[in-house]
Amino acid sequence: MSSIHIDLEGQALDSTSTLGPYAETENGKDDQPSETSLLLNRTETNDTQGSCVDIHYIGVDRRQFRMIIACMVFGNGIGFFDSTLMASSHPAITSYFNASNAASWLSTVFYLTSTVFQPLYGRISDTTGRRPVMGFAIVLFLLTTVWCALAQSMGSFIAARACCGAGAGGVISMSMIIMSDVVKIEYRGIYQSYLNMSLGVGSGLGAALGGFLCDRLGWRWVFGIQVPLIVAYLLLAFFFVPQNLGPNLAESQGKTLRDSFQNFDSRGAVVLTVTVTSLILGINLGGNIYTWTHPLVITALVLSLCSAVFLVHTERHAQRPMLPIPLLTTRPVSSLMWSNLLSSIVTNTVLFSKHPEPVPATISSATATSCLI
């Protein structure tokens, strides 16, 4: 007996007899894929109108899809805008607190927490659903941005930037994840380019306008002007991001959140955090604050290496690993990840390198830094 399914129109479909994309054609030829044939159909038939239309989205309607894409691009741009602010605005901030020796920490702690928490957001959203995790990341980003604007000491500001990195990292990673949830795989490259455009625009504006805004409005307003934008982003996400996005393993398996997190790779999360934190701290401290032979720098780098070895062992035996090790060596995924790593190194080297030419005395330092960047 063939299995029967009901489609969205309420019609019975026989899954064993439904024609696939490469089923026998009217001419009686077996239209199997070749090196030049399309891997996936580009069109779907609209039964009510009898015409073929491109359907790029899944699980949502057209209006909701457009709003989700606009929301993700908008939020991604804000996240990257905030991530490059320190490249040009740190002279004004460190001068205000009389703590120029702490300048490197303003960007380091942001990238540290952003890097560490991104895989955590992805794995947790698989269990609880995308919308709650997305909302948490945006609220955290909002509150810590306000904290940055109101900080009264350098220590408080550095702590705020660390927490802000965790929120911005969640916003950026969840934008990419939600984009993958609602876009069909054959069209995903098109919409990924929109996120890349928001990355370029946000990063460019953050680095270029950070110093200018510091000189014209004051460094606190560099963060203050982001608050209404993040609030608007939060409202868009609340109204247009569906609750049923993602695997939502807790609900689909009929388990409570506590039971679902019993299989959570908590050990992998801790080891990954230690590995990344030690590596970034060692590289940041070495040659900047301390010499490369300083015991603290050597300890951090050795701890990072040992943790990385233990991380590989831990993730190979985890039921649902935080960092699937095979992805690092499986093409084409591994090629894309390693190329992204190298391109990020090159980009940030240019962005945060010191300009060899002296800054003209007639130009304020923050604005000059923006112009150089």
How confident is the chain (373 residues) per 10-residue block, as mean pLDDT? 42 39 40 42 46 69 88 90 83 84 80 85 85 92 94 90 91 90 85 86 83 85 91 92 80 70 79 87 80 89 92 84 81 83 78 51 50 51
Report pLDDT for 86: 81
Report pLDDT for 54: 64
Report pLDDT for 213: 84
Q: How far is Cα 367 from Cα 15, in angstroms, rounded to an integer? A: 65
Report pLDDT for 357: 47
- Both tokens of 211, joined, read 């110093």
CATH of domain 56-252: 1.20.1250.20
Report pLDDT for 214: 84
Cα first-last separation, the chain: 68
pTM: 0.74
For the chain, which residues make up each domain, given as ranges? 56-252, 265-328
Report pLDDT for 260: 67
Report pLDDT for 180: 86
Report pLDDT for 9: 40
Report pLDDT for 39: 42
Q: Is 8 exposed, middle or buried (0-12, 13-18, 19+ CB in 10 A)?
A: exposed
